[in-house]
Structure 1
Amino acid sequence: MKHFLKIYFTTILLFICIGTVSAFGYVVFNRDAVVFPSLKEIVDTVKIDEDKNLTPLERAIKNSSRINILLVGKEHVRTDTIMLVSYDKEEKKANVWSIPRDTYYERENYDNRQQRKINAVYQTEGIEGLIDAVEHVTMMPIHKYVTVDYDAVVSIVDLLDGIEVNVPMNMRYSDPFDSPPLQIDIKAGVQTLDGETALKFLRFRQNSDGTGYPEGDIGRIKTQQDFIRVAVKKALGLKLPAVINEAFKHIDTNFTLTEMLGLATGLVGFSMDNLQTDIIDHYTKKMDNLDYVVPNEAGIKEYVYKLYNVEPEDTLNNGLIQIEDDTTEKNNNTEDDTKDE
């Protein structure tokens, strides 16, 4: 079985804590040394052509102080976690939108069935290609990105003296061919996971006997989103500077330090009650004997319109992305049995 690391909490951790600690430290010791850019100035780095007739949504995006950040968890050249964070400075609210790695994304001149999954984009087209793909799927502009490798997981969790979670099932899986060999044996129930065990918890897809999350990859994402909340809440404490120092060893971003400080001013006073996690609206489909998560354009469009407080237009294609082969099926709480190959 291939690697299947999911490190959602690390990327969200970076989003909230990097800016916050930097701002507090910098403001205390250098109160007059810098003029922070506003989030609007950051957002304006992504321009919408003012010469054309803007739709209501385009106008709302152009005038919004929201900043949209692509968060990517990766192992070497492969992306294993893709999320879009949209932070509203005025409301002090953050929406985290998870994009499953098996999301269908068709690209010209990429005919291999594995290359039609969104997690294959980074390896061939880099971060700019992935930004284009996520903008296409989510219908939202991306202003900044942060990538993080999974090596940060163990050390950050240990710095936090572990993370308490409710393990939803007995997790027992063995893969002697993994590098290094993987052995997962975690009992169900509430417990505090150290770094190594937390990494195994995040890697878990299914037991050796084939049982696992009833909703497949979507069920795993929901469990890990709960993990995000616990980790972020615990990180916003006295150990935050140490967490930042460790996290910076494993990230790449196009944020400048000044922009980070500007973002941080908007994060001061952020409440975990204002962190909402979602998964893109979708349905599942098997093509060429491979399972895909296909974006539901109408549902995604409705989400984006609500995010920007715009009255929605007519839905697209009755909520389906039309694919020529096989029969499409809309996601009405359909079980997601997506498997990695």
Structure 2
Amino acid sequence: NVIKDSDAIKFIGRIVSSEDSGDIIRNRRKNKNKPYNITDNQKYYKSLVDKDNINILLIGPDESGTNYDTMLIASIDDKNNIVKLINLPRDIYIEYSNEVKNELKKVWPSYTKSKGIYKINAAHTLGKRIKYKDSKGRFNNPEFDFTCDLIEEVFGIFIDDLVYLKPSSLRRVVDYFGGVEIDVPYLMKYNDPTQNLTINIKKGLQILDGEKAEGFVRYRQGIDENGKYKSIGDIERKKNQITFVNAFIDQHLTLKNIGKIVTIFNDLSSYVTSSIDNGEKAGEYGKLAKKLHSNNFTQISEEIECSNVRIESIYYLKIKTAD
């Protein structure tokens, strides 16, 4: 679901309301009880956000829609006027609890044979298989509820809302705003017909259209300037994604574009799934964005500290844990 045209009045009503939009969003938080622990007490070694921050999860799947290609958290500290971007590498290894493994065995006995099943970008598949919370969680979707409860358990971040954005809608959003200026750090050249993915972006400062912007955020490997194979890995790719998001926010998420931002949701009903699904909710975030911009908010990013590991010949990233 996305914002409908009939919600425009409610959107404007929230923008002009005297109520604090941050408090309204926080007050929507439902009971967070989980039916069981999702992990085997896997905890990141430090706190990443304040408990009162408002956290939005942006999800971008791969071309097939099978796995999540991008998982980006925008954490908003509306008291101190700070927006922190946290990009979760898709190869993070998840140490699932016996309860989750037992539930999986009941419905999917051969799940351990599925390559990369313990990566965080496959967590939604497990949630769907075990019918997590019977679609009665805060997002009424076992894939989203399982993923968000997992993030909260491991990283201590409560997800207030989410936006599921397919690659095709990233292209449309970028083109709608007239492109994004990026200083591309190196030649990005790659072709994969199975994913319908062709990337050919020259090094240097340039305005990327929708197609090239998608290639920029998805690039992991390809051919360098000398025609030799090059791989940048998931961590470097996450840095490029943060660069893109920072540039897009700086160039386009301005007060003068509030109208465009609302309109784009209406235009992309077949491309975007979001829990920000009505005019009132959108208005709350619109008012929050207005407050942040008026106070010249600070934008920062933080990388998840990981180490490379191989488990049963599969490449993973193991997070730094509290122990």
Supply the AA of the counterpart residue of 2:71: I
Q: CA deviation at 1:285?
A: 0.9
Task: Give the TM-score, by structure 1 length.
Answer: 0.67
Contact 1:156–1:243 at 8 Å: present in 2 too?
no
Q: Distance in 1 between matches of 2:18 and 2:215?
A: 43
CA contact (8 A) 2:54 2:77 kept: yes
The yes-or-no answer on 1:178 pairing with 2:179 is no
**Cα distance, 1:43 vs structure 2:** 2.2
| Structure 2 gap segments, 5+ residues each | 3-7, 34-46, 105-110, 128-142
**Is 2:274 the partner of 1:253?**
yes
Between the aligned partners of 1:194 and 1:38, the Cα distance in structure 2 is: 33
TM-score (norm 2): 0.70
- Structure 2 residue aligned with 1:26, among 12, 24, 32? 12
**Contact conserved, 1:101 with 1:119, CA < 8 A, in 2?**
yes
Q: Give the corresponding residue for 1:326.
A: none
Q: Structure 2 vs 1, CA of residues 265 and 24 (structure 1 numbering), >3 Å: closer, same or farther?
A: farther
Are 2:71 and 1:82 aligned? yes
Contact 2:166/2:272 (CA < 8 Å) preserved in 1?
yes
Show CA shifts across 1:168-201 (max 9, x none): 11122222x3243x33222211111122222222
User: Aligned pair 1:210/2:229, yes or no?
Assistant: yes
SS at match of 1:211: strand
Match status 1:154 vs 2:171:
yes
Q: Which runs of 4+ in 1 moved over 3 A?
A: 22-25, 34-38, 46-49, 237-240
Amino acid at match of 1:68: N
Q: Which digits, 9 at most, give the CA deviation of each residue in 1:236-284, with x for residues without a partner?
A: 3445533442345232222353233223323214247511112222222
Q: 1:246 to 1:263 in 2, by over 3 A?
A: closer
**Secondary structure class of the residue paired with 2:292:** coil
State percent identity of aligned pairs.
23
User: Does structure 1 conserve the Cα–Cα contact (< 8 Å) formed by 2:93 and 2:118?
Assistant: yes
Cα distance change on mapping 1:212 and 1:87 into 2, 3 Å: same
Letter in 2 for 1:185: N
Per-residue CA shift, 1:32-60, capped at 9, x if unaligned? xx6756423432424479xxxxxxxxxx9
Residue of structure 1 in register with 2:84 after alignment: 95
For these two proteins, the number of residue pairs brought into alignment is 261
Distance 1:183 1:86 in 2: 32
- Secondary structure of the corresponding residue to residue 230 of structure 2: coil
Give 3-state SS (helix, strand or coil) of 2:157's partner.
coil
Match for residue 191 of structure 1? 206
Between the two structures, name the one with larger relative contact order (CA 8 Å, sep ≥ 6): 2
- For residues 290 and 196 of structure 1, what CA distance do their matches in structure 2 show? 31
Corresponding residue for residue 184 of structure 2: 167
